[in-house]
Each structure stands twice: as structure tokens, then as C-alpha cells.
Structure 1
């Protein structure tokens, strides 16, 4: 892309994974600025990891693809339900809530969160399980990177109740296992500064970095 489009149009071109771009943005202008080790978890796409103050790409640019982490082996490894990408999908959670409510528009996030905030029992149950799944993914990530901060991105990160519930669920995991609680130091869990635009700013930063080389 860089070579083909750049040559054709005579402009600087760069390419970056969306979740990794989100991590670049938060490192540049947001919650990971000055943080040595942390991650941006874009609920719906992937995870960008910063280690030693640098974005981690891995040997073949696959670092941070936690969507392929197996968290439900009982579902069968051929089934997508076995993988974190489905269990921690914000789109899937919203669809399940709307389905439970009988709403025609299964993608209506505002309706789903209105039901959650109003205290609807079934909506709340689905939401809490979802936040627990995200908290488990954060714990699994933390055992590898021992980060200072995890930033939650994506459009859903604008919902303060989401961040609060993920924090609560993560704290409960540590409290419910004394040995785990003694060994794992709680980390900061915050919303992305630029919410759903985080990856766009990060893509710009990737381009600017490439132009300086």
C-alpha cells in the first residue's frame, strides 16, 4: 500500500492495524502518554500493546490479537464462541440485550444501555457477564505484560457505567482468589481519551512517524 499508492499519487502513505493505531494515539496524546507498559483494548476490534514505551508489533505484526485467545474451550475449538473475540465483542453484547428486550434494531446501543441503566434484570445480567469477560481478558493480558494501565476504546467506551463495571469485576476477581490478589497488582482501567476516534488519530501519528524516517 505504501509503495503502490505513494508512487501513484505522489503523497506519503502509511498502513497500520486499527487497534495498534489506537495505542499509538493514546501514547501520543492520551492516557498512555508517559506510560512505559500498557495497552489499549478496543472492544470490537483488537488490542494494541505498548512495551518499553514502544508499540509492540511482533514478528509478523500479530502481537496483541487477543481475539484469538481461548477462554471457553468447552464450546469446541472449531466454534468462534470459544474465543475472546466473540466473548468480548461489544456488538454481540448489544445484540443480545436488544434481543432480550424484543427490539427490532439489534444494533441499537442507546436502547441497550438505557435498559441496563434503568435496572432491567436480564439486560443487567448480560451486561455484567460481558464486563466480567473483559475483566478476565485484562487479567490474562496483565499476566504477560504487567502493565501500568489498560485503556478501553471503541464507541462503547463513552459509557461510564461500562468502565466502572469492568473495574469492579476486575477487583472482584482479585478479591475472590487471595493468592492471585497478593501477586497481581491492580492496574488503572480507564476510557480512551478520544473514544471512537482514537484509531484515526493514531493512523495520523503512524503517518507522521513514517515521514520522519
Structure 2
């Protein structure tokens, strides 16, 4: 058995994974707000399983050296900076530890066992506290060196007077969206829950209200969120020769969200013909046996 741990900005999720990728003993705890409490929480989780596992696999946001298990920056978890996570846990528990970026983990799972198999260039967008991106080709992650071969080359059609302004607008919109974290699923659910007057953030209640058409203001908020994600997808496609994009994160289980993003994406294509590339498929993650609640 392998203990799989997903460190997110809101929760630390964990479970046991067997050789057939079946998950058991799934649970989650709130992500601590300080580094000291983070170590206490993480080591407590591992201690509860240490007698029945042969290794530890950790997915974490941010910039990570996966070979060393070293976190340079933990994304939206600011205290995870210059952390030798793999080395410390290996020394403490005498077990092999692998640490990988969470979006890379999602993309790799899709490339080897899900809907990004056998593609030359596919992407996973993971919607959580922030937005993560993983790029894959033929069952493996694309490295910074290999990714250049999948960049789009300028063409007369793509350099037309009609498409250039839109592509520049798209690029700037994408930058602002990333800086302001507009693609945050947690942020959307929080804003929507407040709009509905809920006592706490409640994703299922939010989507139930959307599907029930309970609030025009909520519908507009949802449409705007889907538009932000569609812009991110189109922005990626304008740079990379993508064949398919999968949407990951707990929110991706909501079929209404995937439908909304796909509709927003199609609208962008209709508004701006002549981009020099064709629409691609957007779908929810397909690695259900590897996903957490």
C-alpha cells in the first residue's frame, strides 16, 4: 500500500492506494495556517498509517523539485517555501517519499490511465484554491525543454489583422486572471455561498441553486466564472498545440460546470473566427479511481 497525500490550500486529503489504484481509508483535514502546525498535522497522518505502507506519494501546489522532494514555493500556501519535504519525511519514517506538483500529478494520471492517453499534447487544469496546469505528451510530463516543440508557430492566418488584437487581449486577460486568481474554485464557491446567504461555503448547495435557476445574480456569477476558465483554455491553446484539456479538482465533478465552461469556450470561438486553430474537447477528469471526495 502507498499512502497518497494531496496538500491543498484548503484541505490536506489522504488515502491508501493499492497496486490496482483502488483507494481506501480516504479522509481530509483542514490545511493548517502555520508551518509548525503543518508538520504536526502531516506527521500525525503518516504515523496513523506507517505500519501498513511501503511508501508515501505527495501532491502539492507550487514549484517543486520532484527528484529531491524539495518545495521551492508552495503556491498559495506561503509558509511552504524552501522546504525539504521528501528528505525530512524519509528520515523521520524510514520510507521512500515522492513529492510532485499537484497539477502535474493530475495530468500524469490522465496521461497514463485517463483521457489524455496517447496524445502528443494534452493539458490538465486543476481548479482548487488556485489554478494548476500540467502538460503531458505520450504518457509523460512535458519538461521545460521538451515543451518548446509543442509551441505554435506564427502563421499568416494567425497573424491576421482580425486575430492579432484578440490574441493580445486574450493574453492580457489571462495574465490578469492568474494574478487575481479569478479561476479559483474555492473563491467562486465562497462568493456564491455568500450570495445565497449560506452559513458556510457549500459547493453542492451552490450548484443545486445554479441548476434550479434560483438566482439571476448567481447565474451571472457562474457564467463569469466559466468564462474565466474558458479564456484560460483558449489562452493555452493559442500558445500550445493542445489536443484536449481536462478539468480537475473537486469542483470538476459538477457536470454543470464542465457544460458551462464548454459553452463559454464555444462562444469565444464564435465571436472570433480565424484564430488559426480548431476547437478542442474540454472534459472533466477521468481518473475517478484516483480522485478524492
Q: TM-score range by the shorter chain?
A: 0.7 to 0.9
Higher relative helix content: 1
Residue aligning to 2:102 = 18
Report deviation, 1:54: 2.9
Distance 2:288 2:252 in 1: 6
TM-score by length of 1: 0.75
What is the aligned counterpart of 1:141 among 213, 236, 250?
Answer: 236
| Contiguous gaps of at least 5 residues in structure 1 | 60-68, 74-80, 201-213
Q: TM-score, normalised by structure 2?
A: 0.56
**Structure 1 runs of 4+ off > 6 angstroms?**
none
Query: CA contact under 8 A between 1:135 and 1:170: conserved in structure 2?
Result: yes
Q: Hey, what does 1:48 align to over in structure 2?
A: 134
Number of residue-to-residue matches in the alignment: 180
* Deviations 1:152-208, CA, capped at 9 Å, x for gaps: 00111111111111111111101111222xx1211110110135944x8xxxxxxxx
2:278 is aligned with 1:192: no
**What is residue 267 of structure 2 aligned with on the other side?**
172
Distance 1:54 1:98 in 2: 38
Secondary structure of 2:252's match?
helix
Report the secondary structure of 1:39's partner residue. strand
1:26-68 C-alpha deviation (Å, 9 max, x unpaired): 1111111111201010012411111465313437xxxxxxxxx
Q: How far is 1:7 from its partner? A: 5.0
Matched, 1:93 2:188: yes
Instruction: Rate the CA distance shift 1:72–1:9 in 2: closer, same or farther, 3 A.
Output: closer
Change in Cα spacing, 1:196 to 1:113, as seen in structure 2 (3 Å) is farther
Give, in angstroms, the shift of residue 110 of structure 1: 1.1
SS in structure 2 of the partner of residue 165 of structure 1: helix
Q: Is the 8 A contact 1:158 1:195 kept in 2?
A: no
Aligned to 2:178: 83
Q: Which has the higher strand share?
A: 2
Contact in 1 for aligned 2:107/2:134 (Cα 8 Å): yes
Deviation of 1:88 after TM superposition, in Å, equals: 0.6
Which entry has the higher C-alpha Rg, 1 or 2?
A: 2
In the other structure, the counterpart of 1:132 is 227
Q: Secondary structure at the match of 2:108?
A: helix
Q: 1:86 to 1:197 in 2, by over 3 A?
A: farther
Given candidates 108, 115, 122, the residue that maps to 2:202 is 108
